[in-house]
Structure 1
């Protein structure tokens, strides 16, 4: 998210450099967006590291913390010849007909081992205590993440609005240029002046066509998009009609 935000605000800063009238506001919005993205990254890294540090250790480390028992399966030393329940012949072998005595691990309240529950009973490892496992403070991380996300949304929306303002101003400026060129076309008196004026008018119409096409593709409302497409079609047909009518008028002034 932070990388995507950084790329986004880089484009916004480039737009600000090309448009001095929105430079201050755009840079401020980009700064807020970048700060929000960095805050989200730090919060996620903090939550991940805390979850990693509070995870339950592997089974091998848990087995190492179990209390030692005098099990009948313990080895009796070298040369015992397989001492144990099935072995026979070792010093600690169980006599025939006797019941082997196995010492069970110490149990906590309710017959549950404190080692497995992390209840903090006698002999239980302190790093498995319930207070340590659940001390991740998820609500604080979630609240901070929500606040940073809201700040990011607000700043990104502000950047988009400023960029949209630039596009609208470009469209209005292109329209004003075309209006001025059409006024010049109305005052031409010969074909040479007409060719020069119409060449300038055609270039400005091409620029307006590109701007309106980009604006049309950016519109989300289907109705607005259809209106923009219809207006562009009218401009295209009107330009061809203007060219033909102007040529006829200049070549046949008596008409």
Structure 2
């Protein structure tokens, strides 16, 4: 489905991003993996390289424009193009009420989830425009991007903003053949989620209660949706917010 494509994946060191790295490589893409933890990126990349996949690693922080610019340049210089991107890096924290939330938490949540996507779009889109062959971009939002879920207020605001950026970019670059969509992701059993549930196991019931399927997503299930949006199989879909939430948003 992604044979011959070059895809940049952010937040690729664990969870959904790491699952996407594995799946995209399996489907024939050259993958450029970006995350802050160089050691964790190397652990994700090593078995892919051993299996014969085309992989480049770009340690960096999406809140730093120069790091994103370097990752995009690595994709073009190493594999000849940037055909797609999965802007998956993000961060959230526990449910402190708005008036008690530390300003530093607000800044970090907004930086990683909004500025990070903004930085990625600002550097990925010019590379695609220069190539003149279009492209596909997928941004990771959340059920918190459509309603207040009980997550901290800045996270809810940030994930709403990701959907706004997605729609605006889709409108502005559609005639250039660049499609921009978003995933509305529900509770997902990532490494971070497992760590949280080990400390507070009673939270699992609340994380699964709203999903029709009464379970969390596996990271690969979310990655499969991203792969479809990055492929030509979704060629008439842009500006969309695709739920990957086990039916949570249908209720």
TM-score range, shorter chain: under 0.3
Higher Rg: 1
Name the TM-score, length of structure 1 as normaliser.
0.20
* Higher helix residue share: 1
Name the TM-score, length of structure 2 as normaliser.
0.21
* Higher strand residue share: 2
